Amino acid sequence: MPDNDNIAATTAVGMDTTYLNRTAREYLESYLASNETSTVEPQLFVCFEHEIMEFPLSGHQTLGRPVPGHLPDIPVVNKYVSRDHGYFDTTPEGISYTASDTKNGIIFRRKLLAPGETVDLWDGDELIIPTFAGGKGADIMLVCARVEGRINIWRELELAARDALTGLSGRNTFKTWYLQNHGFTHQKELSLFILDIDHFKRINDVYGHSTGDAALKTLAEAMVKMIGGKGYVCRWGGDEFVGIIEKNGQAAKAALAEMGRQLHAVKIDNVFRMTISAGVVDINSAEGAEGIDELVMLADQAMYGVKESGRNRVCLYGEAS
């Protein structure tokens, strides 16, 4: 396996428009050249900004942006990706990609592919979906990995790209997970929640950022324990977290309230007791909510009601605050 310190450094310097800069690429190729590696089941790593998602390549698979009623085999939640952005074909003989007629197109070996053009992909080949005019911002990079060493490296990068403090994924990975697991299926009991730490800025100002970090880490661990492997939680941004729990609205509300009581019983850094405010939406009762962003908005409205009524509570969307 590659050296973890080098992997962490690679991630730190690699978040530019080509995702891995020259230093990172030289290290990666040097590692592969000096270590024996075997061909395994191919994987596709989709990289955008600070997030990496992995998809196994097998058979005929479509690439595109998911929308209600349409879930590509390889979904990329980004406005610069078209609903139909091409497709992959994987056989024992090799892997190919065929481009579709899209607004932003896709680049292979510095060449913009024409609609309908097919290219063969080998280990380490990259496809680039440009996102901003003039080369500004992070493009979306798709990396084909066919040998064990490269796959291991990208999996290390995937772990390193998670939130360093909490170990949780970011919102784009969360959205993709939701679409793949629940986006267009009907599960009897499923709720989405959003929460944050009450008066978090004041905690940082009074007790210091190390204590604030300890609170975030404690909260993240509590949420992961609460969902028990039957859901997903991400760091949405700052001290806000969003998660999916396999319970109906009332049961999810009760679980979050109990988690809040348990958190309050612990004195963070022996200096303060944390409280949280949370909003919950029962996904199967959320009329008119067609996607994850709409569900988050409804849960956020419920949390706003909690903030307005004094904090340190959990509110279910549709109930009086």
Which domains are present in the chain?
Answer: 4-160 (2.60.200.20), 171-316 (3.30.70.270)
Structure confidence by residue, pLDDT tens digits, 297-315: 999 999 999 999 899 999 9
Per mean pLDDT, which range of 4-8, 60-64, 185-189 is the poorest?
Answer: 4-8
Rounded to an integer, the average pLDDT of 248-265 is 96
According to the model, what pLDDT value does residue 77 have?
A: 85
Structure confidence by residue, pLDDT tens digits, 103-153: 889 999 999 999 999 999 999 999 999 986 444 557 899 999 999 888 988
CA distance linking residue 36 with residue 231, whole number of Å = 38
- The answer to whether residue 18 scores a pLDDT higher than 60 is no
CA dihedral 174, 176, 181, 185 (to 10 degrees): 110
CA distance linking residue 142 with residue 174, whole number of Å = 18
According to the model, what pLDDT value does residue 29 have?
A: 64
Structure confidence by residue, pLDDT tens digits, 165-218: 898 988 888 888 888 777 655 567 899 999 999 999 999 999 999 999 999 999
- By the 10 Å C-beta count (0-12 exposed, 13-18 middle, 19+ buried), 18 is classed as middle
- Is the whole model's pTM more than 0.85, yes or no? no
Rounded to an integer, the average pLDDT of 270-280 is 95
